[in-house]
Chains A and B, each alone.
Chain A
Amino acid sequence: MCFRFKISILFLLVITVLTGCWSRRELNDLAIVVAIGIDQAENGQYLVSAQVVNPAEIASQSGSGAGTINYSPITTYQAKADTIVEALRKITTVSPRKIYVSHIRMLVIGEEVAKNGIANVLDFFSRDHEFRTDFFITVTKDTTAEKVLSVYTELEKIPANKLFNSLEMSERYWAPTRGVFLDELLSDLILEGKEPVLTAITITGDYETGEEETNVQEIIQDAQLKYENIGVFKKDKLVGWLNTEESKGFNYITGTVNNTVGHMSCPDGGKFSKEQIVAKSKITPKIVNGKPEIFVHIWTESNIAEVNCQIDLSKMETIKQLEKLASGEIEKHANLAIEKAQKEFQSDIFGFGDLIYRKNPKTWKKLKDHWDEAFSAMPVHVKVDVHIRRFGTIENSFLEELNSTSEEKESE
């Protein structure tokens, strides 16, 4: 009995030292940060903006009654310091609660910081134990992170959630964006023969009104947060942007298009749209005459989404023709992206170098030291297979009948 007692005391003592890193924090002592923005300040300092949730306002059902103050659902605290972690701690001088970063949804990096290099910024995010790695990282275009984090948004009261969901949805249904998590970004940074990309976020409309609460009281918001373009990095520095078409081509090549729509011109004028439902890509590096060449094969399945021209969809030849048109369109986008990456940025965002390394390490060893030049000069062959599967609920467009009846009337 005495022995047991001693053992249990021992266990209790062991428990107290074994707990590792922990601390008891009541929920109402935490400032839950949902987004962090990082801008360049003077003297090499960083301006860190932390978007903090005001839980009571988010979850209030009754709304604001008469006489009560209408609190903003979020607050953005800011601090300037030489390092990120310092700035975040400094925020306690303005925030009543301790900053709690486990739940951040977005990391917004200012354009200026991105141009100077993001490696220094990312160290803290990968080192600190509080972070989960499931937040998206974006880079601002033509604006600052501070501004992006102070715009009122509709539907999602928390702007960070809006940014997160919007990026997730646009990646899934529109394609020319790319949601990048921390681990993905870090591995792209480190990997030889692959360069990172980040989707760009901008503010459209008037930023000044976006900062006001009235922004969300209007039906068409004055200022909105919008994803546009993909920022191309070389090492950890931002070197330029891919526009919408190039971004789409980039995603086609990397096989990350999930679902998208795109329009093409019909053979006899007019336009039609197809909805992408499946897209796969296969990239095979080959050594031709001692020099590497890349063969990209994109295979997609599509549905006809919209027809604004007179074509006979019931005929097999028409479908073949449309498939050819669509292939051409995708090929065009892909080539645009490749050309820009090769000629303008000399940045291997597709990871061709990595594929060569995997397929043929010896060749890669030779190429490694002058990969940028080799990449720019490397021939890339894109081949696209489009298969049109379905037309939707109608076959031929009623436009045809509409036109024919009006012609008949005219002839009468």
Chain B
Amino acid sequence: MRRIKRKRKQKQSVSSNRNAHPSTNQETGRNRLLLSPSIKDNIEQIQRSIGPSSDVTIRQFCSQKGGDADIAIIFIDGMVNENIISDFIITPIMGKVELLRHSLSPLFDLEQKILQVGNVKRISEFESLYTSILSGDTVILLDKITEGIVIDTKSWEGRGVTEAQAQTVIRGPHEGFTEALRVNTSLIRRRIKDKNLCIETKQIGTRTKTEVAIIYIKDIADEKIVQEVRNRLEHIQLDGILDSGNIEELIQDNTFTPFPTIQNSERPDSTSAGILEGRVAIIVDGSPYALLVPALFIQFLQSPEDYYQRLGYGFIRFLRYVSVFISLLAPSLYIAITTFHQEMLKTTLLISIAAQREGIPFPAFVEALIMEITFELLREAGIRMPRAIGPAISIVGALVLGEAAVGASLVSPAMVIVVSITAIAGFTFPTFSIGIPFRILRFGLMVLAATFGLFGIIVGLIAVILHLCSLQSFGVPYMYPFAPLEMNDQKDAVIRFPKWMMKSRPKPFTKWNQVRMGNSYALNNRKNKR
């Protein structure tokens, strides 16, 4: 129901787009413009369309003395490898210009005898010619011929493969994705050398024409899910895709939930692990974050490190579940207990908290709110500010807000401790996006705690849990394997079980090929016996 609505909305937005930009309509119109036999006309047409831009280079030369230009090489400066163009395109053409002039099928000769490059194809439409040129290919046009040759000469400056910035590990690969799609797909291909690994690419964005790759393993992934991904991507009719975040928002199941239902990863290894589980990765050109669908709640709390360190580390994952509750509940529990349920505290603890609250002018709720908002401000400032003034923020944060606020009896030290613990717990999540819902819901629970005490917190928690259980990601229940409860997949939930015990892939992602481990289980046992 909701999806139909969304589709309708998209259609509306598309139609409004059309009204606003009639030229778009022309370009994508049904009467596709074909190349004309006259190279002069073609070049004029190109110049009219994309010529005014200064980086469009049209190199023309003639094959015989005194004649008009009958060969044109068109490319965009800065997006091509100029060495390829000069050494392997222009030099051979000029050297064999006689052959070309007398040739009966010059395109065939160009392809077969002259051009010394790898990826060559023919085109006959202006529309795809523009797309090729604008994405860094070089186009060769010949006079009297209604086809052009497109040579892949894409090459531009980009960031090299560097360490992952946000999802770091101690042990395990440090590589992170880059902005270049092909680099990213190669990072995955390098890890999974399986003939069944499919990388489907499509262009999304009517103007940006961003390449988007869908990656999955054919004989593991559930075809229904893959088809669902294709469908949802098909329906995107946005003019521009600048990051995978844009796509995430358009294909997710539920917009009005604080919880992310699509996982993102900047790590090729965890993306590959997801693909091996039977999930589908979506990589967007220009974004170092791959999307993984379907996503489960527990997967946001799994760090790749859980699998790379020895078994004991798998238990550390339990800590993250604890920190979910701390991050969500610590301030509201403090408020509820100190303003409603003082009898729950030990007498000595009560007295020491009461002593700290002596002379504090605000109720505990306002106090907590002030501190929480301050911390959120600091955190936001920490991300946005220029690197050079970083230390200033920490001084202001630690000294002015921490020390001075307590010294001035505006905030009690116990509250500072509670807020700090909450903040620290919020930083233990391996995926940044799972921290956001807890940050938001925390405030709601604080209000409930201040009005109804523990009772309010419990009601709020029940509401959150009900909501979580109602969520789905590409048809898979979000809270799997807790709701619905699946004992077999508990092996990778709260704590990680030994690798040899996790013989099968998570059930909801794959309908066949569920066994991922062969004989190593038996091997392990045999070794133990010896």
Docked complex Cα distance between A28 and B350 (Å): 11
Pick the residue among B340, B352, B451, B453 that contacts A59 (CB under 8 A).
B352
Task: Please tell me if the beta carbons of B343 and A103 are within 8 angstroms of each other in the complex.
Answer: yes
Q: Is the CB of A32 within 8 A of B350?
A: yes
Inside 8 A of B450's CB, which chain A residues have their CB? 24
Task: Assess whether A80 is interfacial by the CB under 8 Å rule.
Answer: no
Q: Mark A47-87, 1 if CB is under 8 A from B, else 0.
A: 00000010110111000000000000000000000000000
Q: Establish whether residues A60 and B355, one from each chain, have CB atoms under 8 Å apart when the complex forms.
A: yes
| Min C-beta distance of B258 to chain A, whole Å | 16
Q: Knowing A28-B354, A30-B354, A55-B351 touch, does A22 contact B453 (C-beta < 8 A)?
A: yes
Q: Does B354 lie within 8 Å of A27, measured CB to CB?
A: yes
CB contacts (< 8 Å) of B342 on chain A: these are 25, 27, 30, 32, 100, 102-103
Instruction: Choose from A19, A34, A58, A100 the contact partner of B455 (Cβ within 8 Å).
Output: A19
For B352, B353, B355, which residue has the most chain A Cβ atoms within 10 angstroms? B355
With A15-B452, A102-B342, A103-B347 given, is the CB distance from A26 to B364 under 8 Å?
yes
Rounded to whole angstroms, the CA-CA distance of A153 and B270 in the bound complex is 64
Cα(A23)–Cα(B336), bound, Å: 11
- Expressed in whole angstroms, the minimum distance between the Cβ of B254 and any Cβ of chain A is 13
* A102 CA to B348 CA, complexed, in Å: 13
19 A-B pairs (CB sep. < 8 Å): A18-B455, A19-B452, A22-B455, A24-B453, A27-B339, A27-B350, A27-B353, A27-B354, A27-B357, A28-B358, A32-B354, A53-B351, A55-B354, A102-B342, A103-B342, A103-B347, A132-B343, A161-B347, A161-B348
Contacts of B456 in A (CB 8 A): 15
For residue B354, which residues in chain A have a CB less than 8 angstroms away from its CB?
A: 27-28, 30, 32, 53, 55
Query: Looking at A28, A132, A161, which has the most chain B CB atoms within 10 Å of its CB?
Result: A28
**Chain A residues with CB under 8 A of B343:** 102-103, 130, 132
- A-B contacts counted at CB < 8 A amount to 79
Is A274's beta carbon under 8 Å from chain B? no
Q: A105 an interface residue at 8 Å Cβ cutoff?
A: yes
- Please measure, in the bound complex, the distance between the C-alpha atom of A60 and the C-alpha atom of B352, giving whole angstroms: 9
A26 to B359, CA, bound (A): 12
State the CA gap A22–B350 with chains docked (Å).
18
Contact of B358 among A25, A55, A102, A130 (CB under 8 A): A55
CB nearest to B450 among chain A residues: A24
Contacting residues, chain B, for A34 (C-beta < 8 A): 347
B363 sits at the interface (CB 8 A):
yes
**A55 in contact with B347 (CB, 8 Å):** no
Residues of B within 8 A of A103 (CB): 342-343, 347, 350
CB distance from A381 to the nearest CB of B (A): 44
Chain B residue numbers with a CB within 8 Å of A53 are 351, 354
What is the distance, in angstroms, from B359's C-beta to the closest C-beta of chain A?
8
A28 touches B360 (CB 8 A): yes
Q: How many angstroms between the C-alpha atoms of A400 and B172 in the bound complex?
A: 73
Residue of B with least CB distance to A16: B452
In this complex, what residue of B is CB-closest to A28? B357
Asked if B322 lies at the interface with its beta carbon under 8 angstroms from chain A, I say: no
In the assembled complex, how far is the CB of residue A34 from the closest CB belonging to chain B, in whole angstroms?
7
Q: What 7 new A-B contacts, CB under 8 Å, besides A24-B340, A28-B354, A58-B355?
A: A15-B459, A19-B455, A22-B452, A24-B339, A24-B450, A26-B357, A130-B343
Chain B residues in 8 Å Cβ range of A58: 351-352, 355
A15-B456, A22-B453 known; A59-B356 Cβ under 8 A: yes
Kindly list the 9 A-B residue pairs having the minimum CB-CB distance in the complex, ordered from nearest: A59-B355, A102-B343, A55-B355, A55-B354, A56-B358, A27-B357, A27-B354, A103-B347, A28-B357
B412 to A, closest residue via Cβ: A27
B168 — which chain A residues lie within 8 A by C-beta?
Answer: none
When distances are taken between beta carbons in the complex, the residues of chain A under 8 Å from B355 are 55-56, 58-60
- Measured CB to CB, the nearest residue on chain B to A53 is B351
Q: Which of B231-251 contact A (CB under 8 A)?
A: none
For window 260-291 of A, CB contacts with B under 8 Å fall at none
Using CB atoms, name the residue of chain A closest to B454. A22
Tally of contact residues, A, Cβ under 8 A:
28
Chain B residues near A32 (CB-CB < 8 A): 342, 350-351, 354
Q: CA of A7 to CA of B496 in the docked complex: distance in angstroms?
A: 39
A34 to B347, CA, bound (A): 9
Complex interface: chain A residues within 8 A of B340 (CB): 22-25
Q: Give every chain B residue within 8 A of A100 (Cβ-Cβ).
A: 342
**CB of A42, distance to nearest CB on chain B (Å):** 34
Residue among A11, A26, A32, A53 with most chain B CB within 10 A: A26
CA distance A26 to B357 in the complex (A): 9
Beta-carbon nearest neighbor of B364 in chain A: A26
Report the separation of the CA atoms of residues A161 and B360 in the bound assembly, to the nearest whole angstrom.
26
A27 B352 Cβ-Cβ under 8 A = no
Residues in B neighbouring A130, C-beta threshold 8 A: 343
Q: Say if the beta carbon of B338 comes within 8 Å of chain A.
A: yes
A11 contacts which chain B residues (CB < 8 A)?
459
What's the Cα separation between A11 and B460 when bound, in Å?
11
- CB nearest to A103 among chain B residues: B347
| Cα A11 to Cα B353 with chains together (Å) | 34
A2-17 toward B: CB 8 Å interface, digit per residue (1/0)? 0000000001000100
Which residues of the partner chain B approach A60 to less than 8 Å between Cβ atoms? 355
Name the B residues within 8 Å of A55 (CB-CB).
351-352, 354-355, 357-358
CA gap between A388 and B364 in the complex, in Å: 58
Contacting residues of chain A (94-110) with chain B, CB-CB under 8 angstroms: 100, 102-103, 105
CB nearest to A18 among chain B residues: B455
CB distance from B39 to the nearest CB of A (A): 61
Neighbouring B residues of A22 by C-beta, 8 Å: 340, 452-453, 455
Complex contacts, B359 vs chain A, CB 8 Å = 28, 56
Q: Mark B453-486, 1 if CB is under 8 A from A, else 0.
A: 1011001000000000000000000000000000
Pairwise interchain contact A59-B339, C-beta atoms closer than 8 A: no
Interface flags, A26-42, vs B, CB<8A=1, else 0: 11101010100000000
Cα distance A130–B355 when bound, in Å? Answer: 21
Q: Which residue of chain B is the closest to A157 with respect to CB atoms? A: B351
A382-411 interface (Cβ within 8 A of B): none
Q: Mark contacts of B310-348 with chain A using CB atoms, 8 A cut-off: 1 yes-contact digit, 0 otherwise.
A: 000000000000000000000000000011101100011
Chain A residues closer than 8 Å to B451, beta-carbon distance? 24
A158 to B355, CA, bound (A): 14
Per the 8 Å Cβ criterion, residues 500-518 of B in contact with A are none
- B408 to chain A minimum Cβ distance, whole angstroms, is 16
Known: A26-B339, A27-B342, A27-B364. A105 touches B357 (CB 8 A): no
Query: Which chain A residue lies CB-closest to B342?
Result: A102
**In the assembly, what is the distance between CA of A11 and CA of B463, in Å?**
10
Determine the chain B residues whose CB is within 8 A of the CB of A18 once the complex forms.
455
Chain B residue, CB-CB nearest to A101: B343
Cα distance, A135 to B330, chains bound together (Å): 30
Query: What 1/0 flags go to B347-378 for Cβ under 8 Å of A?
Result: 11011111111111001100000000000000
Q: CB-CB < 8 A to B459: which residues of A?
A: 11, 15
A132 to B345, CA, bound (A): 11
List the A side residues contacting B360 at CB < 8 Å: 28
Measured between beta carbons, the chain A residues less than 8 angstroms from B455 are: 15, 18-19, 22
Cα(A32)–Cα(B357), bound, Å: 13
Q: Determine the distance from Cα of A25 to Cα of B364 in the docked complex, in whole angstroms.
A: 10
* CB nearest neighbor in A for B343: A102
Indicate if the CB atoms of A25 and B339 lie closer than 8 Å.
yes
B356 to chain A, nearest CB (A): 7
Residues of A within 8 Å of B338, CB to CB, are: 26-27
User: Min CB distance, A250 to chain B, in Å?
Assistant: 30
In the assembly, what is the distance between CA of A132 and CA of B340, in Å?
Answer: 15
**B165 CB, nearest partner CB in chain A, Å:** 40
- Chain B min CB distance to A179 (Å): 16
| Residues of chain B lying within 8 A (CB to CB) of residue A19 | 452-453, 455
Please, how many angstroms separate the alpha-carbon atoms of A30 and B340 in the complex?
11
Kindly state the separation between the CA atoms of A22 and B338 in the bound complex, as whole angstroms.
13
Q: When chains A and B are docked, how far (Å) is the Cα of A102 from the Cα of B342?
A: 8
A30 and B351 CA atoms in complex are apart in Å by: 11
The complex places the Cα of A101 from the Cα of B343 at a distance, in Å, of: 9
Chain B, range 36-64, C-beta contacts under 8 Å to A: none
